[in-house]
């Protein structure tokens, strides 16, 4: 029966399409100096953000970092203590949730247990100026979008967790909001389903062109989903940027440590020359050449950070600037890669991630327990952090 599918596709195509490179540069959502205090506790502390139309923007942080409070202020469930929120040029700060062009997908999905899937999706539409046939068309179109057309008469307890998640998405999208808020959208799904759903979510965002703001504590989820992300800690935004920017060029120890794993070293600046800096790292037992950052002075204490996958293990001494001897303490084989724990002569243990690109047996791998090896990395891989 190809007919219904085609009509549904045609309907979906009526949404304004957003193509990633064509994202408009004018800020669509503007958060200006927003602070939220609960008594003496400051949940969100003077946050300012600009989010473009059609973006998937992630708020990433550990529990209690203020990301959910910020989301709830966008939805209208909490009033900011200070600051203002603009959506599409309109000041939303004092509007109640039911008057905002914003919909939210709740972490618990919050599906109405006494209504069928269809009624859940239709719920928000009854407040809109639509004819009954327009309404049922929209519901059908939404259920087709999330591939749940066959489940419209089931109650939420009669479908699986993944299906419930998609009903919640369809319900939140049904009113065609200007902004969709997603609170930990994938947290309740198991790993395999989560990966599949990530791409489905991106696909749906692409089809509808809705601006998404996603709250998540899962850095991989944030990096896969979002066009840009903001790392939050203690109510503040630590860094905003694309996944690559935040991962490769973190601006603080906190961001570097939160996104991915990393080796930190205490270091002292010895000399700078062009875009290269020489820093002394006692724990590595020598000087390290690193990519310079502005404002370095000789003698200044600094933190050196190196990601485990940027380190190379070799048997012989490599002919590069940054090469240090060590000994394999531990080895964990994950299949596609292995994690080594290498002990330096200073006693410091470093994590090294090595991709198993070649298919070799156990006796032929680069290094084994207790082997003496050399660790090396490019100057560009060494990140200097002031705090």
Partner 1 sequence: MEAAHRSPGFRRWFNRRGWIKITIATPYVWLSLFFLLPFVIVIAMSFATRTPTAPPFSFGGDYPVMNTNHYARLIHDDLYVRAYLNSIGNATLATLMCLLIGYPMALGLTRVSRSWRNVLLMLVILPFWTSFLLRVYAWMGLMGTNSWFNKLLTGAYNWVMPADMALRYIPMMNTGFAVVLVTVYSYLPFMILPLYANLEKLDLSLNEAAMDLGSRPFQVFRDVTLPLSLPGIIAGSLLVFIPASGELIIPSLVGSSSRPMIGRVISDEFASARDWPMASAVAVALLLLLVGPLMAYTYFEGKSLEKKKAEGES
Residue for token pair 């293990």: 313
Give the separation between CA 311 and CA 178, rounded to whole angstroms. Answer: 44
CB of 154 to partner 1, least distance (A): 5
Token couple for 273: 């020359």
Q: Is 67 in the site for partner 1 (CB under 8 A)?
A: no
Q: Is 108 in the site for partner 1 (CB under 8 A)?
A: yes
CB of 158 to partner 1, least distance (A): 4
Give the separation between CA 308 and CA 91, rounded to whole angstroms. Answer: 45
Q: Which is nearer to partner 1, 128 or 372 (CB)?
A: 128
Which residue in 159, 169, 162, 156 sits closest to 189, CA to CA?
Answer: 162
Q: Is 155 in the site for partner 1 (CB under 8 A)?
A: yes
Tell me which residues in 73-102 interact with partner 1 (CB under 8 A): 75-77, 96-98, 102
Measured in Å, how far apart are the chain's first and last C-alpha atoms? Answer: 61
CB of 176 to partner 1, least distance (A): 12
Q: Binding pattern to partner 1, positions 109-138, x when CB under 8 A?
A: -xxxxx--------xx--xx----------
Give the separation between CA 319 and CA 257, rounded to whole angstroms. Answer: 30
Cβ atoms of 60 and 231 closer than 8 Å: yes
CB of 263 to partner 1, least distance (A): 41
Q: Which is nearer to partner 1, 56 or 172 (CB)?
A: 172
Q: Which is nearer to partner 1, 154 or 207 (CB)?
A: 154
Q: How far is CA 237 from CA 79, 311, 387, in A?
A: 19, 30, 15
Q: Is 152 in the site for partner 1 (CB under 8 A)?
A: no
Cβ atoms of 34 and 46 closer than 8 Å: yes
**Contact footprint for partner 1 (CB under 8 A):** 75-77, 96-98, 102-104, 106, 108, 110-114, 123-124, 127-128, 154-155, 158, 171-172, 175
């Amino acid at each position: 029966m190809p007919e219904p599918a085609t009509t549904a596709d045609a309907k979906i195509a009526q949404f304004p399409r957003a193509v990633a490179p064509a994202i408009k540069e004018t800020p669509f959502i503007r958060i200006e100096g927003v602070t939220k205090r609960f008594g003496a506790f400051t949940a969100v502390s003077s946050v300012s953000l600009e989010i473009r139309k059609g973006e998937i923007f992630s708020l990433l942080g550990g529990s209690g970092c203020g990301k959910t409070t910020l989301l709830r202020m966008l939805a209208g469930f909490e009033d900011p203590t200070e600051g203002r929120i603009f959506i599409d040029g309109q000041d939303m700060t004092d509007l109640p949730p039911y008057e905002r062009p914003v919909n939210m997908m709740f972490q618990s999905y919050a599906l109405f247990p006494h209504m069928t899937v269809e009624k859940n999706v239709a719920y928000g539409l009854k407040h809109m100026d639509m004819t009954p046939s327009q309404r049922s068309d929209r519901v059908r179109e939404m259920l087709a979008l999330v591939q749940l057309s066959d489940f419209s008469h089931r109650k939420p307890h009669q479908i699986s967790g993944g299906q419930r998640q998609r009903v919640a998405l369809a319900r939140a999208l049904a009113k065609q909001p200007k902004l969709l808020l997603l609170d930990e959208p994938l947290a309740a799904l198991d790993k395999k389903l989560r990966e599949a759903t990530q791409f489905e979510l991106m696909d749906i965002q692409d089809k509808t062109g809705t601006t998404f703001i996603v709250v998540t504590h899962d850095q991989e989820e944030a990096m896969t989903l979002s066009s840009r992300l903001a790392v939050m800690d203690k109510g503040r935004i630590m860094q905003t940027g694309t996944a690559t920017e935040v991962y490769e060029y973190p601006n603080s120890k906190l961001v570097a440590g939160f996104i991915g794993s990393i080796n930190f070293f205490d270091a002292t600046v010895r000399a700078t020359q062009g875009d290269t800096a020489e820093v002394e790292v006692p724990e590595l037992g020598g000087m390290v050449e690193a990519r310079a950052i502005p404002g370095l002075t000789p003698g200044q204490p600094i933190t050196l950070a190196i990601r485990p996958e940027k380190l190379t293990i070799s048997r012989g001494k490599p002919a590069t600037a940054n090469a240090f001897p060590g000994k394999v303490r531990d080895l964990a084989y994950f299949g596609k890669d292995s994690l080594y724990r290498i002990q330096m002569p200073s006693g410091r243990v470093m994590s090294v991630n090595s991709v198993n690109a070649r298919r070799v047996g156990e006796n032929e791998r680069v290094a084994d327990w207790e082997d003496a090896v050399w660790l090396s990395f490019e100057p560009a891989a060494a990140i200097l952090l002031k705090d």
